[in-house]
């Protein structure tokens, strides 16, 4: 009886090992037979900072907002001049005149803040418009690179703790975008 119990335990153990191996092979088979997986990473923040289309877009936006920025600086100079005038002449000006100057200063300050806020909002909208167009082109370039170089997965990362230079294809994307830039200007 003891002998048959040992024999039964051995058979059960062997069956268990066979089932375990079968399940392991079944689960791992896609990985065993898939071959090498090729992964790439793109730092889109760097693309939006360093590529020719991004630099051109930034210059274009700066030119569009140059006049508004000058107007804001002009308002700032007026505010400082009025503040200095008030501080300098505080003892020599009557109460009514001082209040008028203070109201004028408050009005100028409000106008300055409104103008500055409006410009910030408009600037943000324009940047988003331009950068979305560049990101669209970037995604097309990434797709083309993936197809040409047989990538299985390409991730767009703004920043990561660590990534190997071997999988970072940001420079390739920037070069491809820069190569497209002269043709896009002709259109």
- Asked if residue 103 and residue 113 are part of one domain, the reply reads yes
- Asked if residue 17 and residue 59 are part of one domain, the reply reads no
Residue 100, domain extent: 36-186
Q: In tens digits, what is the pLDDT along the chain, a chain of 187 residues?
A: 555 555 556 667 667 656 766 666 667 666 555 567 888 999 888 899 999 999 999 999 999 999 999 999 999 999 999 888 888 877 777 888 888 888 999 999 999 999 999 999 999 999 999 999 999 999 999 999 999 998 888 888 766 667 778 888 999 999 999 998 665 444 4
- Output the domain CATH number for residue 176: 3.30.910.20
Predicted model pTM: 0.66
- Asked if residue 108 and residue 58 are part of one domain, the reply reads yes
- Asked if residue 46 and residue 26 are part of one domain, the reply reads no
How many domains are contained in the chain? 2
- Asked if residue 140 and residue 158 are part of one domain, the reply reads yes
- Asked if residue 81 and residue 1 are part of one domain, the reply reads no
Q: How far apart are CA 24 and CA 31, in angstroms?
A: 11
């Amino acid at each position: 009886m003891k002998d048959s119990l040992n024999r039964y335990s051995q058979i059960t153990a062997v069956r268990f090992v066979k089932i375990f191996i079968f399940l392991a092979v079944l689960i791992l088979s896609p990985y065993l037979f898939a071959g090498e997986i090729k992964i790439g990473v793109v730092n889109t923040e760097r693309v939006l900072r360093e590529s020719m289309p991004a630099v051109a877009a930034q210059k274009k936006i700066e030119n569009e907002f140059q006049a508004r920025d000058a107007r804001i600086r002009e308002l700032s100079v007026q505010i400082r001049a009025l503040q200095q005038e008030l501080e300098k002449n505080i003892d020599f000006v009557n109460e009514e005149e001082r209040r008028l100057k203070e109201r004028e200063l408050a009005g100028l300050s409000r106008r300055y803040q409104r103008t500055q806020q409006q410009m910030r909002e408009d600037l943000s909208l324009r940047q988003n418009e331009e950068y979305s167009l560049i990101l669209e082109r970037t995604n097309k370039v990434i797709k083309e690179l993936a197809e040409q170089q047989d990538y299985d997965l390409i991730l767009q990362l703004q920043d990561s703790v660590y990534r190997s230079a071997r999988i970072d294809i940001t420079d390739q994307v920037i070069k491809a975008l820069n190569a497209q830039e002269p043709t896009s200007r002709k259109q």
